[in-house]
Amino acid sequence: MTTGSGGRTVPRERERPGLTPEESALVVRIGVFVKMRWLAIAGVLIASLIATQAFHIQFSLVPIYIICAVMTVYNFLFLYQARHLNVEASDSLPETLAVPLRHLLIIPRATSPLLARARATGNVHIIVDLAALTVLLHYTGGIENPFIFYFVFHVILAGILLHYRVAYLVATWAILTVLLLIGLEYYEVIPHVHLEGFAAAGLYQQGSYILSVLLALSTCLYASAYMVTSISGELRKRQREVVALQQKGLTEKTRELEEASEELTTLEEGRQHLLRFLAIASHDLKAPLSAVQSYIQLMLGGFSGELTDKQRQMLERSSIRITEQLELISDLLDISRIEGGQIVKEMEEMSLSQVVGDSVENVRAMATDKSIKLGTRMPASLPKLKASGVRLKQAITNLLVNAIKFTPENGEVLLRITEQSGDIYTEVLDTGVGIGAEDLPKIFDDFYRGSDREKAGSGLGLSIVKRVVEAHGGKIWAESPNPEDKKGRGSKFTFLLPKNLVIAGKKQGRKARLKSQET
């Protein structure tokens, strides 16, 4: 009666979110069984009609119609129940009934309420179907009817849906039911319906026939139970392994993510700690020197009475040493801040021409003191950048100070900005003493002061410039002698800021349009 090959996957309409593969497979299968029962009902009706009409086998169709009607009704109920499997909260009747069965067969508890409910539902399906098939058999010739072997489908169904012990129980139950039916008919406790024109009249009381059918049926049912349960057991095991693996993978990934985010937090905390520490260190290191320097300036300014030349000279030297020390502290703290990533926070829309102008102003007095010609050349319009204005000013100023420091009186220092295929090039050229070939590769190193140690300075100036440029994703290099100096003197420093810092579409400079027309 129930035809078919079991739990083939049907269209995925019945897959619900949030179900384990095992649960959803079971839900899908219960749906499949409901569909197959419709086919079975149709099959019974068609087979009966063919038997009576085409082969003129004589038997009453009325009981068959009644049984089909009953099956239709309970199949509708099953259909309804299959659609609401995971809706009900409380234990349904089939589940309550399934408990003693579970205890009897020592079946482990289902891993989820939905599984328990689906299995209990399966029990009910099988019991009702078994009963229906038995009654149907009774009205269609009993042992004369070869469809008696259709009990195998119940065993298959149980083997797929339920615990493997249930499959054997169903096989046993089917055999007992058949035995009871045949026995009652054999001893004529209940009337035998003879299929006239199909089987011999006394067949239902022929011992050898009955025994052979029973033997074939029993072996068939038990063998099916064995085959189906071993296959579906294996499948279920695999399914669980897959789920376990997935969950293991998921847990591991989650743990890795948690660890990574913890590390990030620790890093950020460390960074914040460093910056706080630097702010305090900066203040506490500079404050005493500032006070001393202020006193010295007060004395040098004549606010505490006249000074002798000797005193003045000594105070001036002290003042220079303190200034150097303050600069060294500033440089060290700047490096720590840049390394600590503060530069990223300082990046904002800024005007490069303003930075250039400020830097030149910073060193103008120094250049004038040495009668150095300080020139600036840059396009009338420069794009706006997303960069740290403070740090770029520091970088350009450092380069200019360096150039002025190493250029003799009456020399020239030129600051030139150009735009080449979007990148911004900043060049500082001088006509000074230049850099020895052995020094050139090391000038950007920390505390490197070249062979000419007479010049004041911490040796950190250029390494700060390099850090600033690189923090912006740029590059810096130096050439000596200055390739543009006709007498082969001096040096040339170039750094480029990549075009990705440029804020698109924002040009500045009042005469921009005018200039571009001229050129």
Partner 1 sequence: MAYKILLVDDDPDIRDVVTMLLESKGYETVTACDGIECLAALRAEEPDLMIIDLLMPKMDGFAVLKELEDGRWSKYRNIPILILSSVREEASRRRYELETALEFNVDDYVEKPINPEVLLERVERLVNKNKKA
Residues that bind partner 1 (CB under 8 A): 282-283, 286-287, 289-295, 297-298, 301, 303-304, 322, 326, 346, 389-390
Lookup: tokens for 26: 């079971």
- Any idea how long the chain is? 519
Provide the 3-class DSSP secondary structure of residue 414.
strand
Q: Quick one: DSSP state of residue 435?
A: -
* Beta-ladder partners of 508: 382
CB nearer partner 1, residue 247 or residue 297: 297
Q: Are 129 and 1 in contact (CB under 8 A)?
A: yes
Show the CA angle centred on residue 152, arms to residues 146 and 156, nearest 5°: 160
Instruction: Rank residues 43 and 357 by Cβ distance to partner 1 and give the closer one.
Output: 357
Q: Of 212 and 297, which CB lies nearer to partner 1 in the complex structure?
A: 297
| Residue nearer to partner 1 on the CB measure, 115 or 390 | 390
Considering the complex, state which of residue 330 and residue 508 has its C-beta at the smaller distance from partner 1. 330
Q: How far is the CB of 337 from partner 1 (least distance, A)?
A: 9
Nearer to partner 1, 5 or 311 (CB): 311
Q: Which is nearer to partner 1, 389 or 411 (CB)?
A: 389
Taking the least distance from each CB to partner 1, the nearer of 52 and 336 is 336
Q: Quickly list H helices, 50-112.
A: 62-83, 93-105
Tell whether the torsion through CA atoms of 249, 252, 258 and 264 is positive or negative.
negative
Of residues 283 and 513, the one with the C-beta less far from partner 1: 283
β pairing state of 412-420 and 373-377: parallel
Shortest separation between residue 293's beta carbon and partner 1, angstroms: 3
Instruction: Report the amino acid identity of residue 393.
Output: K
Helix (H, G, I), strand (E, B) or coil at 406: coil
Angle between helices 113-139 and 151-161 (to 10 degrees): 180
- We find the least distance from the C-beta atom of residue 398 to partner 1, in angstroms, to be 15
CB atoms closer than 10 angstroms to residue 372: 22
Scan for tokens 């049984």, then name that residue: 67
Q: Specify the residue, 246 or 297, whose C-beta has the smaller distance to partner 1.
A: 297
Residue 379: CB minimum distance to partner 1, A: 25
Nearer to partner 1, 255 or 317 (CB): 317
Structure tokens at 438: 């052995």
CA dist list (Å): 32 to 7, 10, 17, 149: 7, 7, 19, 21
Task: Between 289 and 440, name the residue whose CB sits nearer to partner 1.
Answer: 289
Q: What minimum distance in Å lies between the beta carbon of 278 and partner 1?
A: 12
d(CA 434, CA 444): 15
Cis peptide leading into residue 288 (ω within 30°): no
Q: How far is the CB of 298 from partner 1 (least distance, A)?
A: 5
Shortest distance, CB of residue 506 to partner 1, whole angstroms?
21
Residues 6+ apart with CB under 8 A from 496: 423, 424, 425, 426, 474, 475, 476
Instruction: Specify the long-range contacts of residues 369-372, CB closer than 8 Å, at least 24 apart.
Output: 370/404, 370/407, 370/408, 370/409, 370/410, 370/411, 371/409, 371/410, 372/404, 372/407, 372/409, 372/410, 372/411, 372/412, 372/413
Residue 123: closest CA among 26, 239, 252: 26
201: number of Cβ within 10 Å = 11
| Minimum gap (Å) between residue 504 Cβ and partner 1 | 25
Least gap, CB of 282 to partner 1 (angstroms): 8
Closest listed residue to residue 203, CA positions, set 185, 221, 219, 220: 185
Q: Please say whether the beta carbons of 434 and 451 come within 8 A.
A: no
- Name the minimum Å distance from CB 343 to partner 1: 12
